[in-house]
A and B are shown apart, each in its own frame.
Chain A
């Protein structure tokens, strides 16, 4: 297992296809917390897979104003079919050409197999990595770690605002 990018580091910007004719950049999401979920492949043979669970948890993510994106090396066409079948309501990005380039930048690429790790990142509103987690490839990590990180991020933001206003007042 490699090392995924650690908290405190600027999340490398990227532009990837979200549909066959549209792209999405990390920079487009600046100003909101972003959850980056790298995963090995669309079409894993279970119905309650990682993306299906995140899809179902979207209201909780949105409560934190967070955007969620899934990233794998599957093509935009593959993602489109997968998202339609599973009624996914968040974007899946295709780290397809050059294959796995973005995953590599995040330390979330598996060379031997040529797929993304199951790696999770919470990026704060300024584009810094706030939390990261590398799950064993066979273990779907669920959403609890992400929601805990978003809770802590929110607490930190609240404290920062308090400190700043206290500073202005003093």
Chain B
């Protein structure tokens, strides 16, 4: 049974309950269609479990098959550095079919961030080390594709539709 090797910390992007009974960590890729589907399931989990659930996202871009996954992750980190990670995250998944470099820069602008600074950050690969760190933590924890979920530190090996994820969260929700 694979376990999360790098504990959730302040360096992570988290939303939902600040100190939820259950912590859901997703390793995902912005260009992966399965992650897009999972994104809406996770939003639904957040609405259902409220403060009991802390939702964390870590990057696992499969760059060999998804050339835009890395720049998208870097754009999300650029937004994150200005407190807007989740806005960018949601925007990318909402418009995954239109994912492109101009889209990412445009999304930064829509969020009120500097398009130019975003372009410079992507060019300089400013946030690449953070993404590589996420990726490696995922590899060492047994991430085996995207998306991979960890629920309270244990890899969720079942399907990742709402029903299965909710059942898995519920099963550990009231465990001491």
Query: What is the interface of chain A, defined by CB distance below 8 A to chain B?
Result: 46-50, 52-53, 55-57, 60, 86-89, 139-145, 147
Task: Give chain B's interface secondary structure class.
Answer: loop
| B135-149 Cβ-contact flags toward A at 8 Å (1 or 0) | 110011111111110
Which residues from B are CB-within-8-Å of A144? 2, 5, 139-142
B145 in contact with A46 (CB, 8 Å): yes
A141 in contact with B144 (CB, 8 Å): yes
From B66, B145, B147, contact of A50 by CB (8 A): B145
Offer 19 A-B interface pairs, CB within 8 angstroms, sorted by A.
A47-B32, A47-B66, A48-B29, A48-B62, A48-B148, A50-B144, A50-B145, A56-B63, A56-B64, A87-B65, A142-B148, A143-B139, A143-B144, A144-B2, A144-B5, A144-B142, A145-B142, A147-B139, A147-B140
Which residues from A are CB-within-8-Å of B5? 144
Q: Known contacts A48-B29, A50-B145, A52-B145; is A86 also within 8 Å of B65 by CB?
A: yes
How far does the alpha carbon of A55 sit from the alpha carbon of B33 in the complex, in Å?
A: 19
Does B157 touch A at the CB level, under 8 Å?
yes
Q: Known contacts A57-B139, A60-B136, A147-B139; is A140 also within 8 Å of B65 by CB?
A: no
Which residues from A are CB-within-8-Å of B147? 48
Which residues from B are CB-within-8-Å of A50? 144-145
B139 in contact with A55 (CB, 8 Å): no
A141 to chain B, nearest CB (A): 7
A142 in contact with B65 (CB, 8 Å): no
A48 in contact with B64 (CB, 8 Å): no
How far does the alpha carbon of A42 sit from the alpha carbon of B32 in the complex, in Å?
A: 19
Q: Which of B66, B141, B142, B157 has the most CB of A within 10 A?
A: B142
Q: Known contacts A56-B62, A144-B2; is A47 also within 8 Å of B34 by CB?
A: yes
A92 to chain B, nearest CB (A): 14
Q: Known contacts A53-B144, A140-B145, A142-B144; is A47 also within 8 Å of B139 by CB?
A: no
How far does the alpha carbon of A52 sit from the alpha carbon of B148 in the complex, in Å?
A: 14
How far does the alpha carbon of A55 sit from the alpha carbon of B64 in the complex, in Å?
A: 8
B151 to chain A, nearest CB (A): 16
Which residues from A are CB-within-8-Å of B139? 53, 57, 60, 142-144, 147
Which residues from A are CB-within-8-Å of B143? 53, 142
Which residues from B are CB-within-8-Å of A139? 144, 157
Q: Which of B141, B143, B147 has the most CB of A within 10 A?
A: B143
Which residues from A are CB-within-8-Å of B136? 60
A49 in contact with B2 (CB, 8 Å): no
